[in-house]
Chain A
Amino acid sequence: MAESTVLNLILWLPVLGMVALALAPKGTDRAVRGFTFGVMVLQLALTAWLYQRYDSSVAGLQFETRIPWIADWGVYYHVGLDGLNVLLVALTAFLGPLVVAGAFTAIQKSVKLFYAMVFLIQFAMLGTFLAQDLFLFYVFWEAMLIPMFIMIGIWGGERRIYATLKFVLYTAFGSILMLAAVIYLVWSQAEATGAVSFSFADLGSHPLSFGAQSWMLAAFALSFAIKVPMVPLHTWLPDAHVEAPTAGSVILAGVLLKMGTYGFMKLGFPLFPDATRAVMPWLWTLSVVSIVYGACLALVQTDIKKVIAYSSISHLGYVMLGLVSLDLIGIQGAIVQMVSHGLVAGGLFTMVGMIYERCHSREIAAYGGLAKILPVYSVFFVILTLASIGLPTTSGFTGEFMALLGAFNAAWPQYQAGQALPLVMAVLAVTGVVLGALYMLWLAQRMLFGEVKAPHQPVGDLVAREKAILVALVVAIFALGLFPQGPLAKTELAARDYQQRVLSSRLPEAAP
């Protein structure tokens, strides 16, 4: 009981914060920053407490709240933690205070509105992860768009209007078709059982014809694949990332991209298992294309932010690969990789923001030899680079290695059965690791070593606030890399459930 109250409090704290900000008088920017940070820290503390209380030996939902919201339509305000979302909720809460602290000096214009938007995004993201009702999920899913639109559009770079409109119009197109599929799914369920329900638990059971499954999977997948993003639907991401303010990039890379993979894991694949299995070869191929193509594009960029943006596409390809491998290790690897990517890419974008604040350039060519003038910055940059490459002991290793292992586990028996494609794809996916090492190390080499170059000299090294942000991220990265057992145990039962559901069939029984 107490736990579910805390969970609701975690979810609604940002809304309370937003109301407080709306009432704050003008000229209180310092207080606004401190207040927002305080609320985020409180949220993190509550989440940490709840995370400790989460029982990994219990399957299904924990700390549930379920109250009627629109009784007429069978819509409930239904939130809870399960093995699939517990780590992502923890990640969102963890990044919250870091995003806020990272923007203390970068954001000087309309400070109140900025933090209100951070609160709103935080609320929508947590809500999307926690929702256990399809209507509620959709509402939260769409509610993320507007604050992000405003954040990129007001505080973004030069081409911000173009980038932000592209981001919103892309993602909204996916969602509108998903909405059609949502309504169709719910009403086919209502026809089968006689009661309208949006509950995830109720929507997974009634029989669906293969055709219906295919159409709905296509609609859901379009929406999720745009969000991930998977090649070839990725073109909004580099623009949005490059033009977004640092905080926006961190939120985008850290949490928002995981919405897509989470959607596949929670809804897309398990709801339409037969259609999913039928398109498996496509899913494998698209995942690996995302890995390799993203990495290749990252290799040739001249803008630091773009390198990391394209590396995100590549890294999320591993998540997709782990999910479609349908191997327990691969699935768990996918979940860990989501968290790991949130920490690492979030950290890298934060660091790009830090150097941009000092030198006002994101061109790789403008920098060189930073290790000599910014030693502390360089140490952190190297650590994050190595984590991004997936060096053992960092979280990146745990995630990528498990996802790849799962892919090979799944591909080998298929190869023996005469199916060569998955094995080829798994081998190709490994080249992504090599390419990843190449572009990240090359980036670090060009920026940190060689002749000293920086657009604005002298450049001051990191201040205490920035160090604290990075220390927190690095500690989390190593914690997940060295001691993954705890988090993995929390995901195990849910991963098994996902595996089982995607492997089962929900086609109508053939008439005897």
Chain B
Amino acid sequence: MNWQLILTAMLPEHLLLVGMLAILGLEIKSGRPRDGFALAVLFTTAAAVAAFWLYATGFTGAPFLHHFSVGPVASLPKAVLLALAIPVLLISRDDFAETPYYTLVLASLYGACLIISSDSFPTLFLGIEIMSLPVYALVLLGLMRAQSVEAALKYLVLGGAATATLLMGIAFLYGWSGSLSISAFPFALASGDPLALAGVALVTAALFLKAAVVPFHAWAPDAYEGASAPVTAYMATIIKAGVLLAALRVFGTMPVVAPVAGLIAVLPLVSMAWGNLAAIRQTSFRRMIAYSSIAHAGYLFYALLGDGRGRWEAIVFYLIVYGLMNVLAFAALPRGADDERQDRLDALKGLYYRRPFAAMMIAIAMLSLAGLPPLPGFAAKFLVFKNVLAAGYTGYAVAGLVASYLGLYFYLRVIQYMFMAEQEPTAARGAPRRLAVVASVLCLVPAILLTFFPGWLIDRL
């Protein structure tokens, strides 16, 4: 074993692991909750920097041949994901004083990193499980109300179903190719053999389930609503990103052939339309974001229709923008003691007149998620649909654009509530929390830079 290679290539993962152990150790030793938060931020930042350093130096290597490899294509998404976790941790501080929260988040991040670097199905499977398992607990943590228990249970059961489906798919693929390597997947796609296609379909279904694509989406609104805001933010950004990067890993860079295009386009298309329409009816902010994330899962899977490098570019850029905007919305969201009441969309009414900057930031997040130019959400959506059209799927692209139009209304409604509605007399008037402000600035600054200079990032991808 080449210990040096393992140490260098897996530096981000090691840092997360050390952070996890340090938090656990500290809790045993002192039981002071504050250190858990500080250590988690410290080690996540270090891991993000390490991943970025691996990317910047163009480090390539496979510490575990055929199972785990590192290259710039993997290091950048890792850095993005870890960097997005920092503001999520910052907004968690006020809700979660307990150390287990931070241990669980770092563990989940570790799983996400494994996914991105996986070369074989066992590694991918481990990554998905390590990423998801802590989240079942996270949903339950903090607020022990009936709703959270229900949400966690639903999430757990459906997550378990996804696990079983994924394993079944892997078994089929192994039976067909005799290999556990992920690189067999594109060949199975192209083969047209029933066994291979059954495996492909099962693996895809498992990914759809994890990413909450219609009709496998039912768990998401309940889980998002039942969890507390920071956990919802974590699920909407990091988990979604992790699953999409798993899909990117599995589908590789081979262009999709026409019959398979139907497999990866139709359900995401339905997802966009249904997510956007169902979001209109929601009265809870987190439920609305859940349906929004269902629609966004659709756009992200659409990106797989493009080919090769463009696919990676589109998904990574989209995840950056989408993640920033979701975290920004949650960071700017006013929070109060009564979490359930604060979650109602009505609580946002007249927000601009109470907290103008919070309202502005939520507005920016919503408009960007709606994909309205000049905000970066537009460039992200443009990149996806451009690739779909360039790959020759004109019909899917037009249908997808129309489906995305359906989402405009509910995003605008949030702005309408904040700017144009009378505020409710009972609305909370608490001052903004300091860490939440730091988190929103961390998201806002790159968002503004991407508005004016999207080319800077796109040219580098």
Contacts and interface: CB of A to CB of B under 8 A. Distances in A.
Interface in B296-322: none
A150 B420 CA distance: 8
Interface in A211-268: none
B397 interface: yes
A75 B455 contact: yes
Nearest to B455: A70
B111 to A, nearest CB: 32
Nearest to A219: B398
A139 interface: yes
Contact of B419 (A71, A139, A150): A150
A183 B306 CA distance: 14
B458 A73 contact: yes
Interface string B363-388: 00001000011100011001001100
Interface string A39-72: 0000000000000000000000000000011111
A71 B459 contact: yes
B378 A142 contact: yes
B423 to A, nearest CB: 13
Interface stretch (A94-102, A168-176, A334-342): A168-176
A6 interface: no
A143 interface: yes
Nearest to B451: A139
A184 B390 CA distance: 8
B390 A187 contact: yes
Interface residues of B, number: 33
A75 B456 CA distance: 12
A145 interface: yes
B367 A183 contact: no
B17 interface: no
A328 B386 CA distance: 38
B177 interface: no
A183 B415 contact: no
Interface string B349-365: 00011000000000000
A138 B373 contact: yes
B415 A150 contact: yes
A73 B313 CA distance: 12
A150 B397 CA distance: 30
A154 B459 contact: no
B439 to A, nearest CB: 20
Given A70-B459, A138-B373, A168 B405 contact: no
A76 to B, nearest CB: 10
A166 B394 CA distance: 28
Contact of B398 (A69, A110, A180): A180
Residue among A71, A73, A164 facing the most chain B CB atoms (10 A cut-off): A73
B378 A139 contact: yes
B409 A165 contact: yes
A405 B125 CA distance: 74
Contacts of B398: 177, 180
Main secondary structure of the interface of A (DSSP, over half): helix
Contacts of A173: 405
Contacts of B405: 172-173, 176
A168 B390 CA distance: 29
Residue among B367, B373, B379, B416 facing the most chain A CB atoms (10 A cut-off): B373
Contact of B373 (A143, A150, A183): A143
Contact of A176 (B390, B402, B409, B415): B402
A139 B373 contact: yes
Main secondary structure of the interface of B (DSSP, over half): helix
A168 B352 CA distance: 21
Given A149-B412, A183-B389, A71 B455 contact: yes
A184 B389 contact: yes
Contact of B389 (A73, A149, A187): A187
A39 to B, nearest CB: 20
B373 A72 contact: no
A511 B455 CA distance: 40
Nearest to A15: B452
A146 interface: yes
B419 A154 contact: yes
A161 interface: yes
Nearest to B385: A183
Interface in A156-208: 160-161, 164-165, 168-169, 172-173, 176-177, 179-180, 183-184, 187, 190
A149 B409 CA distance: 12
Contact of B409 (A154, A169, A184): A169
Interface in A113-160: 113, 138-140, 142-143, 145-146, 149-150, 153-154, 160
B45 interface: no
Nearest to B390: A187
A146 B372 contact: yes
Interface string B389-408: 11000100110011011001
Given A154-B420, A169-B409, A146 B367 contact: yes
A335 B408 CA distance: 33
A180 B400 CA distance: 10
Nearest to B379: A70
Interface string A471-487: 00000000000000000
Contacts of A177: 398, 401-402
A55 B330 CA distance: 53
Residue among B372, B378, B379 facing the most chain A CB atoms (10 A cut-off): B372
B33 interface: no
6 contacts: A72-B459, A150-B415, A153-B416, A172-B408, A176-B404, A177-B402
Interface of B: 352-353, 367, 372-374, 378-379, 382, 385-386, 389-390, 394, 397-398, 401-402, 404-405, 408-409, 412, 415-416, 419-420, 453-455, 458-459, 461
Interface of A: 68-73, 75, 110, 113, 138-140, 142-143, 145-146, 149-150, 153-154, 160-161, 164-165, 168-169, 172-173, 176-177, 179-180, 183-184, 187, 190
Given A72-B458, A176-B401, A183-B386, 6 more contacts: A70-B455, A140-B374, A142-B373, A150-B415, A153-B419, A176-B402
10 closest A-B pairs by beta carbon, nearest first, are: A70-B455, A139-B373, A153-B420, A176-B405, A142-B373, A180-B398, A72-B459, A183-B389, A139-B374, A72-B458
